[in-house]
Amino acid sequence: MKVKIMQRSVYHKYAEVEVEVPKNIKEEDVQSYLIDNEDLYFEEIDKKISKTEYEFGTGLYEFDGMEDAESDSEWRFDIVGKQYGGHL
Q: Is the dihedral of CA 12, 15, 21, 27 positive or negative?
A: positive
pLDDT tens for 46-81 read 999 999 999 999 988 888 888 888 888 899 999 999
The whole-angstrom separation of Cα 31 and Cα 27 is: 8
Average the pLDDT over 4-12 and give the result: 94
Residues contacting 44, CB < 8 A, separation 6+: 17
C-alpha span between 60 and 71 (Å, rounded): 10
Task: Tell me whether strands 76-78 and 85-87 are parallel, antiparallel or unpaired.
Answer: antiparallel
